Structure 1
Amino acid sequence: MADKQISLPAKLINGGIAGLIGVTCVFPIDLAKTRLQNQQNGSRLYTSMSDCLIKTIRSEGYFGMYRGAAVNLTLVTPEKAIKLAANDFFRHHLSKDGKLTLFKEMLAGCGAGTCQVIVTTPMEMLKIQLQDAGRLGKRKFSPRGGLARNEIAAQRKLMPETVPVGTVETKSPTAMQLTRELLREKGIAGLYKGLGATLLRDVPFSIIYFPLFANLNNLGKRGSDDTAPFYVSFISGCVAGSTAAVAVNPVDVIKTRLQSLNRGSTEDTYSGVTDCIRKIMRNEGPSAFLKGAYCRALVIAPLFGIAQVVYFLGVGEFILSFLPKKDN
């Protein structure tokens, strides 16, 4: 119906619950994606996703695969809620007689991707530091058990309280420690490092994902006013999510590199998006932009499949139905 009003609180609840469930299921694969994308020539520790996960479990234990999960689980609720609810909001206001042209579907996706970066950027900024700590921790130790002097300095610059002078061990910082340090050193801009790259990733992702999902989902509808079965929404979310994820993976590599604050002594540092592209092309070749692509597809596919199932089942609407209604 063209005049059907959407319930923004219900959409926010749906998006939040979907994000929590999805992230819990796929976080280890996301960790492998981050570590694979951050590997540069001459510093390869992992040969594949499975190799990364096996080595992570051996060196850091089972919960090492969930390094950085706490900050992601905390912020994924508002992130997914904003993304899904914003898309619904824009689609509702752009529709005419309940119908949308492809251009307006893409425009709604663009609006959703733009809105979400206010949460996505600091969330991924913190998550990447925590996820990559295990990889860097391995590289920091020399064969004699000490840390390279320049790598101690780099670590101390970010988190001085975690790497005292003369130590041979590094303690992984917490999300709160990282947040305080970034705010103290660089202000709010420290948490939003890589904002441009995040926009370059999330806006095209949403432009591809939401129209593709909507059209795939419509194929499973039994009637013009009917909704698609939950399994159609799940499959549509998986296909649209993995397609969009692979399409924007080169920008995701750039974003991951820019947001990684700590580097090994032989690894490049980057001053911006163009500098990152130039150095990756020169030192690693075009194939480097596809690093972690299959991991990202494996993360995004079930994440958005689960999200769409929760969303279309109307969990938020069900929860809100128990609240007392105000009399007009």
Structure 2
Amino acid sequence: MPMCAPTEYTIYIERQECNYCVAVNTTICMGFCFSRDSNVKELVGPRFLVQRGCTYQEVEYRTAILPGCPSHADPHFTYPVALSCHCSTCNTHSDECAHKTSNAYTKCSKPVRHLYPEENNYIQAYWEHLPAKLINGGVAGIVGVTCVFPIDLAKTRLQNQRQGQQVYKSMVDCLIKTVRSEGYFGMYRGAAVNLTLVTPEKAIKLAANDFFRCKLSKDGRGLTVFREMLAGCAAGMCQVIITTPMEMLKIQLQDAGRLAAQQRKPGIIPATRLATTNAVLSRSYNVVPNASPRAISATQIARELLHTKGIQGLYKGLGATLLRDVPFSIVYFPLFANMNKLGKPSPDEAAPFYWSFISGCVAGSTAAVAVNPCDVIKTRLQSLSKGANEETYSGIIDCFSKIIKREGPSAFLKGAGCRALVIAPLFGIVQVMYFVGVGEFIMSQSPLKLISD
């Protein structure tokens, strides 16, 4: 056995909600050393060599990170790391150590290995569980969008209408008028775009946040609030790759009914045609009075935008989308993570699914209302078709200044209640799916998994 020193040691950790173990690299004190001792504290009696046990002199408790688990870093779930060790000199007259001194020549210390010493192993562990994360985000997004899309449609129409041209008085009034004029499925205009793209959008958002949280906490320490916000910021920047074109197409389809209803309303001048060579967009959103809007698909809109404006046409409003989604993620993810911790029965257990749902709802609605002014600006910028006397905007600053000047600060709160009602259950469902582990279950039942087992 070696002399007293910190020795590399592997702890195998198993969490109930994760179907595998994680090997955590640490150091513990192992070995022995001899010291000269006497019957009474080395003062009386003959001296002789006594073998001493190797114990901690400096120890640090670190947070274990479990890749692939719903909660990667739990500040209450720690493991010891021996930074230095020593052999104590004790009174051999009794069973207890009445006197301890640190022998300098037996004190050993060396750099402690990182929790995951091989970066490739860490990345490999992350990618192995990425398919399950994508499934969780996708399934949750589809379920959530199906449930709350009509409210999202009302939000878009309320945000786009100007003072003096109000067709809808409230969310309920908007939904009732939509059903009367466009039928039940009129409330789901643009839903096909969301249902198609929400899977990669939500999957990227959740998986990216997961990834950056792990990267920022891989030193074994718990995430500070600043690092949680930084991870959320990075996740928000990643998701706009999908979010911007999805919102762009969805808004055109959602707002078509408002423009048609506005033109049919007595006392409102018919809408002017969109100043563009895009025939599809013009005939779709600028209709003659008392005529029903012609149906158009998101595919047609995307094709025409690509043909006339290129890829940047689909990414109009990218800056405003970043302005909305990055602050949203900065608020949402840290708030959810800290709220969810309050519902844990014990430090080593995950919060129950209903608490995850409540945490997701509260965090989602709070973040949604906080960034609603940014959402109003984004919606206005991405609306290609304008009604009668509706302003056009050259950018974020121009949009902000015109809204303040002509509609007042209260315009930035338009649709805030609808947005909170949309985001709250949507992210509540997302977190339940994510924490229950639907993706892990599906992957465990896949043919490849069964064959490998």
TM-score by length of 1: 0.93
- 1:27-61 deviation line (CA, Å, top 9, x unaligned): 00000000000011121000100000000000000
Whole-Å separation in 2 of the counterparts to 1:222 and 1:52? 43
2:293 is matched with which residue: 145, 170, 173? 170
Question: Matched residue pairs, number?
Answer: 327
Whether the 8 Å CA contact 1:125–1:259 is kept in 2: the answer is yes
Alignment RMSD: 2.4
| One-letter amino acid of the counterpart of residue 116, structure 1 | Q
Greater displacement, 157-166 / 66-75: 157-166
1:205 pairs with 2:205: no
Going from structure 1 to structure 2, the CA distance change for 1:163 and 1:242 (only over 3 Å counts) comes to: closer
2:246 is matched with which residue: 119, 123, 126? 123
Gapped regions of structure 1 (runs ≥ 5): none
Whether the 8 Å CA contact 2:273–2:282 is kept in 1: the answer is no
| One-letter amino acid of the counterpart of residue 222, structure 1 | P
Map of 1:43-122 to 2, 5 A cutoff?
43-95=165-217, 96-97=219-220, 99-122=222-245
Whole-Å separation in 2 of the counterparts to 1:174 and 1:140? 21
1:181 pairs with 2:288: no
- 1:301-327 deviation line (CA, Å, top 9, x unaligned): 000000000000000000111233487
Q: Give the CA deviation at 1:140.
A: 3.3
Aligned to 2:144: 22
Going from structure 1 to structure 2, the CA distance change for 1:64 and 1:211 (only over 3 Å counts) comes to: same
Whether the 8 Å CA contact 1:43–1:266 is kept in 2: the answer is no
Whole-Å separation in 1 of the counterparts to 2:276 and 2:253? 16
Whole-Å separation in 1 of the counterparts to 2:139 and 2:308? 34
SS in 2 for 1:150: coil
Whole-Å separation in 2 of the counterparts to 1:312 and 1:261? 39
| One-letter amino acid of the counterpart of residue 237, structure 1 | G
Structure with the greater alpha carbon radius of gyration: 2
Whether the 8 Å CA contact 1:10–1:317 is kept in 2: the answer is yes
Whole-Å separation in 1 of the counterparts to 2:224 and 2:288? 64
SS in 1 for 2:272: helix
Whole-Å separation in 1 of the counterparts to 2:386 and 2:408? 20
Whole-Å separation in 1 of the counterparts to 2:298 and 2:378? 19
Greater strand fraction, Structure 1 or Structure 2: 2
Q: Give the CA deviation at 1:222.
A: 1.2
Going from structure 1 to structure 2, the CA distance change for 1:22 and 1:49 (only over 3 Å counts) comes to: same
Going from structure 1 to structure 2, the CA distance change for 1:8 and 1:268 (only over 3 Å counts) comes to: same
1:5 is matched with which residue: 67, 70, 85? 67
Whole-Å separation in 1 of the counterparts to 2:325 and 2:275? 34
Q: Give the CA deviation at 1:166.
A: 8.7
SS in 2 for 1:207: helix
Map of 1:132-281 to 2, 5 A cutoff?
132-141=255-264, 148=270, 150-151=272-273, 157-159=279-281, 170-281=293-404
TM-score by length of 2: 0.68
Q: Give the CA deviation at 1:265.
A: 2.1
Greater displacement, 94-103 / 65-74: 94-103
Q: Which has the higher contact order (CA 8 A, sep 6+)?
A: 1
| One-letter amino acid of the counterpart of residue 300, structure 1 | I
Going from structure 1 to structure 2, the CA distance change for 1:30 and 1:315 (only over 3 Å counts) comes to: same
Whether the 8 Å CA contact 1:113–1:203 is kept in 2: the answer is yes
Identity %: 70
Greater helix fraction, Structure 1 or Structure 2: 1
Q: Give the CA deviation at 1:159.
A: 2.6
| One-letter amino acid of the counterpart of residue 132, structure 1 | D
Q: Give the CA deviation at 1:172.
A: 3.0
